Amino acid sequence: MKKKFNYFVLIITILVLIFSLAGCSFAIGNYKVDNLSVSKKKPNNFYYTNLLAKNLTLSSSCKAIVLDTNFYKEKDLVKEDVDTIKKFTKELNKQNFVDKPSDLPAKPIYKLYFTFDKEKYIINVYNERYLSIYPWDGSYPMDYIDMNSISPSNNINSLCKYLIPR
């Protein structure tokens, strides 16, 4: 009888702990505990952009496509277009990376897809000013970029407008 009571108390204690921690969220170092799942915090706000730039520079094979999200027109990017995107990434500095803007449109105008040997990245182009970069299967929030200080020749929105005019 006493054994059954001890098991019952143990089960009730475990259930109380689980339900009391269900809405819990806290950080320990670079790790974040949220609803009993542990995840590592994003190292910096340009994390995915660095990975894309590294792949563009070091990878020998890259398939890149631009998509107009209103008309679903699609066009492959040639080497010169990919070089423009490389120049864009080299022109970026820390001030270009921002938190998610409050005036960001709900839907991007263009999407660029980059497929490398083992990774796939997407650039959402929202307007002349904002874009976001993230991998196909990323676990962190997107990198948001303000392109105000980028030269017009390296602006990704201008490149997309040139490739798929509206």
Where do the domains of the chain lie?
2-40, 47-163
Is residue 108 pLDDT above 90, yes or no? yes
> 113 by DSSP, 3-state: which?
strand
Facing residues of 121 across strands?
A: 114, 135
The total number of residues shown for the chain amounts to: 166
Lowest mean pLDDT: which of 28-37, 76-85, 117-126?
28-37
Provide the pLDDT for residue 77: 93
Average pLDDT of the residues in 52-65? 91
The percent of residues in the chain predicted with pLDDT above 70, rounded, is: 84
Q: Which has more pLDDT, 70 or 4?
A: 70
Q: What confidence tens digit (pLDDT) does each residue in 134-157 have?
A: 999 888 999 999 999 999 999 999
- Average pLDDT on 112-117 reads 94
- Its pTM stands at 0.75
pLDDT band per the 50, 70, 90 thresholds, residue 90: very high
Tell the CATH superfamily of the 47-163 domain: Uncharacterised protein PF16224, DUF4883 (3.30.1490.410)
pLDDT at 32: 58
Q: Which pLDDT band, with edges at 50, 70 and 90, does 9 fall under? A: confident
DSSP sequence for 39-100? EEPPS-TTHHHHHHHHHHHH-S--EEEEEETTTTEEEE--HHHHHHHHHHHHH--GGGEESP
Give 35's strand partners.
none
| pLDDT value for 138 | 87
